[in-house]
Structure 1
């Protein structure tokens, strides 16, 4: 009994030992890093050691923000050069998923060009007993983390804004995840024609898909990696989505996958003096932010400006805060003139004057404290590209939206936000200033008891509850670590299957779907029917002469 007590104490002590968890983020900006670091915050509170690995230059994310729990930073090398990144965002700005998926595959190949150095850097971390982690939590762009999982039996967690492309398809959600056409929700509300177009999307672009995989496999072979990273329907690693049911479409999921968002920091930067003063002068503010990396075409910029002027003339809003980074202003012709009100007097200003904040009702920062703006009661409407973080923040802070998705999860989020009754959408390929104004009017004039107000409050309450699922996510991460570290022996042989993985993942499709059972039953039934027919025929041949004789006598 004493020995048993000692063993129990030892087990409890081992459970409480600190684990080393490395959070890995490559490209995609801070919107990819923030949710993953938020999981790190929860795990650090539980006593785990959190380190951060990223591309050169991105270490500033943890140095300048509230992530003091990060104990060490690993640099994985340089990302794609600026000219290629610029070309990517311009390509995606003009991409229309309805015309094919070649453009995003070209961009994906560009991001993947950083794979060789991230792969080698992570291997160096894994090969050293000093730096080797017990778990990697990675942004979904970091495919080298999957290689570490395969080569070292390392438990990993991948975090994505929506379900990753070509993974976890559902029969009642048309098409492949990541490549659905605009307006697609479920088969329940989709026309037969839209479902057909969704289901054939990848096949109609098969040459581009094949070219992408040829380039990817060649790059991997050149670096001594000869296996392929499959995209299993039920992954043997944790796959989290930074979203929640209500925004994300409900679907059947394996135990290794879960929506755990919105993954948001409990604190956020406050409003500076300029914003405080702006809100003191304006009671109905439109906030516009179309993404950190979007290079806004000049004509689109002017269309939005004219739409906002119409909104002001209709007294829907009395001020606008429009966050546009320096990179997003590249294509704007600042010499263009617009006519607008300055106090009670009409005036003509150039776009340069407007961007220089010479009109008291317009404020154009290069970067804005977004959550503080969304949290302010005077912010009435949010015009957004619908990125994962922006959608989560808007819903969490209870703001209705105009959504103009640019690519991938943004277009999908626009569809879902409209379906949830909290937004109106614009098509980036074809929208007008009148449409922008009329849709804003539809939302802002719905009143306190209108459907938008009710739906915004409904979804906000759901989001606040769902935001606590980051603790559930941390539970799953700990479960996965504890399971993985004791189900392999010292030689790396697997002693037990992964505890979160369903049995069908380790079976052939033939057996998992009971096709063998039905085959045996079918063959058995056919054999029974056949034998019965043969026996019946034989019996008939025996008795038929007597039957004929009897009929003859009659």
Structure 2
């Protein structure tokens, strides 16, 4: 048997004790930090965390993080509240121009992120061997790759826009204006509308590009940020095919979700007691930052009360934080069948034994409980993954970006129904609950089991993502010799280094077409010559 000790030594010498920097900035806490801590730290890597000032406590979710780097402050509470209110009211059919204010808000923090990362990377005592970042920090992290050669991975909650485009997916993920995720059953009008979303936004996009260029020039960054449709860096997608639309991907884009912790918070006494008393519980969680208008709260509660009165469900747990509940119409009165009216304020204080309004809920434990029969969710990436993993049907009320996409994906996967945030009614909520929970033909139960099985197997791909990160570290270390690149990055496809003519074989097609023309012309010429000669001989013979 061949001696394999050399290969083992290489693996040990290149994979152990790497410094991995997880960067999460203005976008909010994602699974990137938890993922790095749980998987990469187990393999002997030193995981560090970088984030905006005031967000350092996010590291507490990742006990294996050893160092926390603080950047400048991120958006203020007022700016974030204005952003979420703007996004809740956004109609995708109106295009992107209406939400560019939020784009400018988040991108304005590039300078601070870039300068802090540059300080970390340029110092040999703190320079990481690899950087994994939330997609909100992608521009600054890609600059570190270009300027310092640090291998990187960007974590996305869904398939990123403008990457790996395919002709049979109209529009861009997160910006599709209807539920047609592919062209398979979409009308021509629907396909045109989806494709035109970005086109109509070109004036706003061009203005933003000029603004971005000026911002980068102020700190002497002259190179362009890499934006190839097939990147040469890792793109880790915290989702999976089954939820995502299957499509052809380059080797650098890796669906590695659902990334979930191996353990989760157990039920506390209050939630356990409520779930033990009720056997058909609807769990509601519409996101930490979703600030519902009073009319929306009223419509949702009316729909839930109708569903309770008609006995489609027998209990509701609605997790809503202190900030969103400020806009709840506390004085609004609601009446259950055969009961006295109660104000929403009283219901929030647990006046109704069939309603529970916790500030925080152990979501995964609730979804895992046998009494939970339906999840009313905004369709955010984590909630979608957890619903599928724990096998709970959903009724989605998405508000923007991946929430809208996930709403359509979950419905297309057969695990629930969705509501249009601009047009839903109380009656529609009640009817949707009745259809899903009643499940007369068992189609929801069947698809929930199907997707649960796929999600649980797919969740193991977080280890593949860790393998890809370690491979990228090795590749970056050994593809350069004496400061000279000996090989391109191993995940980059060759067409990204070629001209379009060569990559798409246009030169061969032109050569083939040209050769065909020459052959056709030559054949025609020879044919005419032969014909003329034969005619001349026939004429001579007649004379």
Paired residue secondary structure (2:27): coil
CA distance in 2, matches of 1:162, 1:267: 23
Paired residue secondary structure (1:23): strand
Is 1:317 matched with 2:317?
Answer: no
When structure 1 is superposed on structure 2, of 364-373 and 103-112 the one drifting more is: 103-112
Q: Choose from 524, 531, 534 the match for 2:522.
A: 531
Q: Choose from 537, 544, 547 the match for 2:535.
A: 544
Shift of 1:269: 0.9
CA distance in 2, matches of 1:315, 1:5: 66
Paired residue secondary structure (1:519): helix
Is 1:466 matched with 2:458?
Answer: yes
**Any stretches of 5+ residues in structure 2 without a counterpart?**
none
Partner of 1:135: 130
Summarize deviations over 1:376-415 as a string: whole Å, max 9, x none.
1111110000000000001101100100110000001010
CA contact (8 A) 2:173 2:402 kept: no
Shift of 1:7: 7.0
When structure 1 is superposed on structure 2, of 9-18 and 43-52 the one drifting more is: 9-18
CA contact (8 A) 1:36 1:139 kept: no
Paired residue secondary structure (2:66): strand
Q: Choose from 260, 267, 276 the match for 1:271.
A: 267
Is 1:397 matched with 2:390?
Answer: yes
Paired residue secondary structure (2:208): helix
Partner of 2:19: 20
Alignment of 1:52-131 (within 5 A): 52-63=49-60, 65=61, 67-131=62-126
CA change 1:312–1:160 in 2 (3 A) is same
Is 1:41 matched with 2:38?
Answer: yes
CA distance in 2, matches of 1:104, 1:465: 37
Summarize deviations over 1:211-265 as a string: whole Å, max 9, x none.
2222222211222212222421110000111111110110100111111100000
Shift of 1:40: 3.6
Paired residue secondary structure (1:87): helix
Partner of 1:188: 184
Paired residue secondary structure (2:86): helix
Partner of 1:289: 285
Paired residue secondary structure (1:200): helix
Shift of 1:21: 0.6
Paired residue secondary structure (1:389): helix
CA contact (8 A) 1:422 1:455 kept: yes
Shift of 1:534: 3.0
CA contact (8 A) 1:36 1:159 kept: no
CA distance in 1, matches of 2:305, 2:8: 70
Shift of 1:510: 0.7
Partner of 1:228: 224
Is 1:500 matched with 2:499?
Answer: no
Partner of 2:254: 258
Shift of 1:57: 1.6
Partner of 2:366: 373
**Any stretches of 5+ residues in structure 1 without a counterpart?**
none
Is 1:482 matched with 2:478?
Answer: no
Partner of 1:456: 448
Alignment of 1:159-174 (within 5 A): 159-174=155-170
CA contact (8 A) 2:280 2:313 kept: yes
Partner of 1:205: 201
CA contact (8 A) 1:39 1:473 kept: no
CA distance in 1, matches of 2:427, 2:9: 70
Alignment of 1:331-370 (within 5 A): 331-340=327-336, 346-370=339-363
CA distance in 1, matches of 2:231, 2:448: 34
Paired residue secondary structure (2:172): coil
Summarize deviations over 1:144-199 as a string: whole Å, max 9, x none.
11111111111100110111222221111111233212202111121111111111
Paired residue secondary structure (2:224): coil
CA contact (8 A) 2:22 2:32 kept: no
CA contact (8 A) 1:39 1:470 kept: no
When structure 1 is superposed on structure 2, of 241-250 and 277-286 the one drifting more is: 277-286
Summarize deviations over 1:333-380 as a string: whole Å, max 9, x none.
211111126xxx511111111122222111111111111111111111
Is 1:511 matched with 2:502?
Answer: yes
Partner of 1:438: 431
Shift of 1:105: 2.7
Shift of 1:85: 1.1
Summarize deviations over 1:29-77 as a string: whole Å, max 9, x none.
23xx2244224411111111111111112221222x3x22111111121
CA distance in 2, matches of 1:56, 1:539: 87
CA contact (8 A) 1:289 1:323 kept: yes
Alignment of 1:240-259 (within 5 A): 240-259=236-255
Paired residue secondary structure (1:188): coil
CA distance in 1, matches of 2:254, 2:74: 30
CA contact (8 A) 1:55 1:78 kept: yes
Shift of 1:503: 1.1
CA contact (8 A) 1:403 1:414 kept: yes
Equivalent pairs, count: 540
CA distance in 2, matches of 1:508, 1:254: 18
When structure 1 is superposed on structure 2, of 14-23 and 153-162 the one drifting more is: 14-23
Partner of 1:327: 323
CA change 1:154–1:535 in 2 (3 A) is same
Shift of 1:9: 7.6
CA distance in 2, matches of 1:240, 1:192: 32
Instruction: Tell me the C-alpha RMSD between the 2 structures.
Output: 1.8
Paired residue secondary structure (2:284): strand
Shift of 1:271: 1.1
Q: Choose from 407, 429, 436 the match for 1:414.
A: 407
Paired residue secondary structure (1:326): coil
CA change 1:199–1:13 in 2 (3 A) is closer
CA distance in 2, matches of 1:48, 1:293: 33
CA contact (8 A) 2:133 2:154 kept: yes
| TM-score normalised by structure 1 residue count | 0.94
